[in-house]
Amino acid sequence: MTYIATFNVIEEGGNSVEDWWPGEPSEPQWRRQLDHAENQLHQGAWAAAVDAAGAPELHNSARALWLMARALDAGAEARRDNRMLARAIAAYFRLLKMADGLSDARLLSITNRTIDRVYFQGTYLSAEPIYRLLIRRFPNEPAYHNNLTISFLMANRADLAEGVLKETLRRWPDDQVALAHYGFVLKTQHNRLEEAVDLFEKALKDDSGPACEARFYYHLGDALLLLGRFPEAHMVHKRGAALGHFLSPSQRSLYNVPRLKSQPWWDVSQTPYSNLARALEASWRKILQEGEAARALYEQEKEGLREKGEWSQLDLFVRGQEVPGRCKRAPVTCGIVRAEPAAASCRRGQIKFSLIEPGTHVRPHVGPTNCRLRMHLGLSNTTGTYLRVDRETRQWREGKVLLFDDSFEHEVWHNGTRPRLVLIVDVWHPALTPAERRSLPAI
């Protein structure tokens, strides 16, 4: 079998080959087979298209590979079949090996779909070779550098993102997207807050431009709070709220359902959680015992929220799932929270013991979502401890429940003399529908 050579001109900064497929078979019979496979795919007959495009005689044909990849992709979606998705992605990658023979338009439609599927699969690092290919093909386009940075960050590889960011900013020192991401990396990985603030300020200049996203306003404001630059932080929070990035200057969670009632402090009687609160209060001594007996398992708070002091926690439920084995250590506590599905299966929250040592100050911060309310059951040594939520400060009491919305700015002081223990129980915001509780992504 012979092949028609289909590509020749490759220019700097793009490829102007005609919209042909490399390796298109010369025999009409095989071309007809590919046309046929294309029709089958259009009609949803993806399995037949896989067979037709998979003929050994077609294995150098880019069009056959494209059909194969799309047919497997369609099949994977129809069947929700992850193995078939992996085969589709492998076929897209084989096709991308022929990138030099593909037109820009065709290359971009293939890379877009491949990246989309790779992200869907959650294997963010495998997008790297695709972005490297696009960077080689479009060397003057910072967007591909930035997208590579983002895929590294999604893969939790800030170290790799940092390398790309440095290179990007060397070439495009004023690129606002790169500036914002570099600010993010400096703040979250290296605690280099002053530099991060400067970068964010450039990136968000005039409140316009491609980096004007909620999370960068959030991190700029947060860096200013951590630096104790409160009036500037407040200005940023006001700007962010005016732009619609925050629900309000003090309610700055990023994962929100906008219609939900917003108030910093709640009365349990405003919610369907009175039974839960009563049950917790009725058993508080037993819950305290369980919390104290498991002290060896507590872990230090790691988010850097403490200005000073010590804070440790023991998770019982995370994202609506029991941490394996934990309920054996706290059977009474778990029994009570399990009786309220809005607590035990709250996928946007946790259930945990929280222990704060005397002398601790937890800086002003916000939780990630407005989809939960946070119930605290005071357990021990609450004297001299304070919780500010937005503008109102309250105190815990042993055996009593507090209820607040932690998407509002809050702050904790322990000015007492002995370690304070509370049980934290997150519950779904009462206004969320059952369908929302089932389908909102976990946090």
Q: Which residues bind ligand LMR (CB under 6 A)?
A: 354, 356, 362, 387, 406, 410, 412, 422
Nearer to ligand LMR, 201 or 292 (CB): 292
Distance CA 119, CA 71 (A): 19
Quote the least distance from Cβ 376 to ligand LMR, whole Å.
7
Quote the least distance from Cβ 424 to ligand LMR, whole Å.
6
DSSP string computed for 316-356: EEETTEEPTTHHHH-HHHHHHHHT-HHHHT-TT-EEEEEEE
Classify the C-alpha dihedral 105-110-113-114 as positive or negative.
Answer: negative
Distance CA 28, CA 354 (A): 72
What lies within 8 Å, CB to CB, of 230 at 6+ separation is 224
DSSP string computed for 27-78: SHHHHHHHHHHHHHHHTT-HHHHHHHHT-GGGTT-HHHHHHHHHHHHHHHHH
Residue located via tokens 């946090």: 443
Quote the least distance from Cβ 361 to ligand LMR, whole Å.
11
Quote the least distance from Cβ 305 to ligand LMR, whole Å.
7
Quote the least distance from Cβ 423 to ligand LMR, whole Å.
10
Give the Cα-Cα-Cα angle 175, 179, 182 (nearest 5 degrees): 140
Nearer to ligand LMR, 88 or 422 (CB): 422
Nearer to ligand LMR, 202 or 361 (CB): 361
Of the candidates 347, 361, 354, the residue with the CA atom closest to the CA atom of residue 429: 347
Nearer to ligand LMR, 137 or 352 (CB): 352
Partner residues linked to 317 by β-bridges: 322, 351
Nearer to ligand LMR, 123 or 312 (CB): 312
Give the residue at shortest CB distance from ligand LMR. Answer: 354
Nearer to ligand LMR, 145 or 410 (CB): 410
Distance CA 381, CA 174 (A): 52
Quote the least distance from Cβ 282 to ligand LMR, whole Å.
22
Quote the least distance from Cβ 412 to ligand LMR, whole Å.
5
